[in-house]
Protein backbone atom coordinates (compact mmCIF):
# COMPACT_ATOMS: atom_id res chain seq x y z
CA UNK A 1 0.00 0.00 0.00
CA UNK A 2 1.46 3.37 -0.96
CA UNK A 3 1.58 6.35 1.40
CA UNK A 4 -1.35 8.31 -0.02
CA UNK A 5 -3.53 5.19 0.01
CA UNK A 6 -2.68 4.56 3.67
CA UNK A 7 -3.47 8.19 4.55
CA UNK A 8 -6.79 7.97 2.69
CA UNK A 9 -7.73 4.63 4.30
CA UNK A 10 -7.00 5.87 7.84
CA UNK A 11 -8.89 9.11 7.15
CA UNK A 12 -11.86 7.18 5.75
CA UNK A 13 -12.02 4.80 8.73
CA UNK A 14 -11.75 7.75 11.13
CA UNK A 15 -14.61 9.60 9.44
CA UNK A 16 -16.81 6.49 9.35
CA UNK A 17 -16.25 5.69 13.04
CA UNK A 18 -16.81 9.33 13.99
CA UNK A 19 -20.02 9.70 12.02
CA UNK A 20 -21.47 6.36 13.16
CA UNK A 21 -20.79 7.22 16.81
CA UNK A 22 -22.43 10.63 16.37
CA UNK A 23 -25.45 9.08 14.64
CA UNK A 24 -25.87 6.74 17.62
CA UNK A 25 -25.70 9.67 20.03
CA UNK A 26 -28.23 11.60 17.94
CA UNK A 27 -30.55 8.58 17.80
CA UNK A 28 -30.42 7.54 21.45
CA UNK A 29 -29.66 10.64 23.52
CA UNK A 30 -31.70 13.86 23.67
CA UNK A 31 -30.02 17.27 23.86
CA UNK A 32 -28.62 17.93 26.44
CA UNK A 33 -28.21 14.52 28.02
CA UNK A 34 -25.78 12.79 30.34
CA UNK A 35 -25.34 9.11 31.15
CA UNK A 36 -22.73 8.22 33.73
CA UNK A 37 -20.92 5.02 32.79
CA UNK A 38 -18.19 5.05 35.47
CA UNK A 39 -19.30 6.99 38.52
CA UNK A 40 -16.95 9.85 39.30
CA UNK A 41 -14.91 9.37 36.12
CA UNK A 42 -16.65 8.90 32.74
CA UNK A 43 -19.96 9.73 31.13
CA UNK A 44 -21.59 9.97 27.75
CA UNK A 45 -23.14 13.35 27.07
CA UNK A 46 -24.90 14.93 24.13
CA UNK A 47 -23.67 18.47 23.72
CA UNK A 48 -23.86 20.65 20.63
CA UNK A 49 -20.71 22.70 20.12
CA UNK A 50 -20.73 25.64 17.70
CA UNK A 51 -17.24 26.62 18.82
CA UNK A 52 -13.78 25.10 18.68
CA UNK A 53 -11.90 23.27 21.45
CA UNK A 54 -13.25 24.06 24.93
CA UNK A 55 -16.14 25.87 23.14
CA UNK A 56 -13.84 28.77 22.25
CA UNK A 57 -15.32 31.01 19.55
CA UNK A 58 -18.76 29.60 20.31
CA UNK A 59 -21.41 30.68 17.83
CA UNK A 60 -18.94 30.93 14.95
CA UNK A 61 -19.73 27.63 13.29
CA UNK A 62 -19.53 28.89 9.68
CA UNK A 63 -16.21 30.67 10.21
CA UNK A 64 -14.78 27.61 11.96
CA UNK A 65 -15.92 25.41 9.05
CA UNK A 66 -14.05 27.68 6.63
CA UNK A 67 -10.92 27.72 8.82
CA UNK A 68 -11.08 23.92 9.10
CA UNK A 69 -11.39 23.48 5.34
CA UNK A 70 -8.46 25.85 4.78
CA UNK A 71 -6.38 23.94 7.35
CA UNK A 72 -7.29 20.65 5.67
CA UNK A 73 -6.26 22.03 2.28
CA UNK A 74 -2.97 23.39 3.65
CA UNK A 75 -2.16 20.11 5.40
CA UNK A 76 -2.92 18.19 2.21
CA UNK A 77 -0.79 20.46 0.01
CA UNK A 78 2.13 20.51 2.46
CA UNK A 79 1.82 16.90 3.71
CA UNK A 80 5.24 16.04 2.25
CA UNK A 81 6.79 18.36 4.87
CA UNK A 82 5.65 15.92 7.53
CA UNK A 83 6.94 12.39 7.98
CA UNK A 84 4.58 10.93 5.38
CA UNK A 85 7.35 8.67 4.05
CA UNK A 86 6.86 6.36 7.04
CA UNK A 87 3.78 4.27 7.84
CA UNK A 88 3.47 5.96 11.26
CA UNK A 89 3.62 9.38 9.62
CA UNK A 90 0.98 8.32 7.12
CA UNK A 91 -1.26 7.06 9.91
CA UNK A 92 -0.85 10.32 11.81
CA UNK A 93 -1.79 12.41 8.77
CA UNK A 94 -4.74 10.12 8.05
CA UNK A 95 -5.99 10.57 11.61
CA UNK A 96 -5.67 14.35 11.36
CA UNK A 97 -7.40 14.48 7.96
CA UNK A 98 -10.17 12.15 9.13
CA UNK A 99 -10.73 14.13 12.32
CA UNK A 100 -10.95 17.43 10.51
CA UNK A 101 -13.32 15.99 7.91
CA UNK A 102 -15.54 14.42 10.60
CA UNK A 103 -16.01 17.71 12.42
CA UNK A 104 -16.40 19.71 9.19
CA UNK A 105 -19.22 17.37 8.14
CA UNK A 106 -20.96 18.17 11.43
CA UNK A 107 -20.47 21.90 10.94
CA UNK A 108 -21.79 21.83 7.38
CA UNK A 109 -24.75 19.47 7.82
CA UNK A 110 -25.70 19.78 11.53
CA UNK A 111 -24.52 23.37 12.09
CA UNK A 112 -22.72 22.25 15.25
CA UNK A 113 -20.27 19.56 16.30
CA UNK A 114 -21.68 16.66 18.31
CA UNK A 115 -19.56 16.09 21.42
CA UNK A 116 -20.32 13.08 23.60
CA UNK A 117 -17.29 11.75 25.50
CA UNK A 118 -16.59 13.31 28.91
CA UNK A 119 -14.08 12.43 31.60
CA UNK A 120 -14.43 14.03 35.03
CA UNK A 121 -13.73 13.72 38.73
CA UNK A 122 -15.80 14.83 41.69
CA UNK A 123 -14.06 17.17 44.11
CA UNK A 124 -14.39 16.91 47.88
CA UNK A 125 -17.01 19.65 47.76
CA UNK A 126 -19.07 17.53 45.36
CA UNK A 127 -18.34 19.74 42.37
CA UNK A 128 -17.75 17.95 39.08
CA UNK A 129 -14.41 18.87 37.54
CA UNK A 130 -14.00 17.63 34.03
CA UNK A 131 -12.28 17.75 30.74
CA UNK A 132 -14.47 19.33 28.02
CA UNK A 133 -16.62 16.89 26.07
CA UNK A 134 -15.15 15.65 22.81
CA UNK A 135 -15.77 13.08 20.06
CA UNK A 136 -13.98 10.51 17.89
CA UNK A 137 -12.89 13.18 15.37
CA UNK A 138 -11.30 15.26 18.13
CA UNK A 139 -9.52 12.15 19.41
CA UNK A 140 -8.23 11.33 15.91
CA UNK A 141 -6.80 14.84 15.54
CA UNK A 142 -5.13 14.75 18.96
CA UNK A 143 -3.66 11.28 18.44
CA UNK A 144 -2.46 12.25 14.96
CA UNK A 145 -0.76 15.40 16.22
CA UNK A 146 0.72 13.47 19.15
CA UNK A 147 2.17 10.90 16.75
CA UNK A 148 3.70 13.71 14.68
CA UNK A 149 5.38 15.08 17.82
CA UNK A 150 6.74 11.64 18.68
CA UNK A 151 8.02 11.14 15.13
CA UNK A 152 9.62 14.59 15.21
CA UNK A 153 11.30 13.94 18.57
CA UNK A 154 12.59 10.56 17.42
CA UNK A 155 13.96 12.18 14.27
CA UNK A 156 15.70 14.94 16.23
CA UNK A 157 17.21 12.42 18.63
CA UNK A 158 18.52 10.18 15.86
CA UNK A 159 20.05 13.11 13.96
CA UNK A 160 21.51 14.60 17.14
CA UNK A 161 23.03 11.34 18.42
CA UNK A 162 26.03 11.14 16.01
CA UNK A 163 27.07 14.68 16.92
CA UNK A 164 26.56 14.25 20.67
CA UNK A 165 30.20 13.27 21.31
CA UNK A 166 31.71 15.83 18.95
CA UNK A 167 33.69 18.71 20.42
Looking at residue 85, what is its pLDDT? 87
Sequence-separated (6 or more) residues with CB below 8 Å from residue 133: 45, 47, 49, 115, 116, 117, 118
CA separation, residue 30 to residues 24, 26, 37, 155 (Å): 11, 7, 17, 47
Q: Contact, 52 vs 64, CB < 8 A?
A: yes
Looking at residue 23, what is its pLDDT? 98
Each residue's pLDDT expressed in tens, for the chain with a length of 167 residues: 898 999 999 999 999 999 999 999 999 999 989 999 999 999 999 999 987 776 677 778 889 999 999 999 999 999 888 888 899 999 999 999 999 999 999 999 999 999 999 999 999 998 999 889 999 999 999 999 999 999 988 876 666 655 555 54
CA separation, residue 10 to residues 23, 73, 134, 163 (Å): 20, 17, 20, 36
Looking at residue 164, what is its pLDDT? 52
**pTM exceeding the 0.85 threshold for the entire prediction:** yes
Known catalytic residues are 115, 138
Looking at residue 80, what is its pLDDT? 85
Looking at residue 57, what is its pLDDT? 75
Looking at residue 84, what is its pLDDT? 84
Looking at residue 156, what is its pLDDT? 60
Amino acid sequence: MNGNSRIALVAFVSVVLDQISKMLVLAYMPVPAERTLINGFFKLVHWQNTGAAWSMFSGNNAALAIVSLLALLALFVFRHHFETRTPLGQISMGLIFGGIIGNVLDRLFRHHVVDFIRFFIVSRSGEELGFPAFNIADSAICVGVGLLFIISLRGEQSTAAPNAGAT
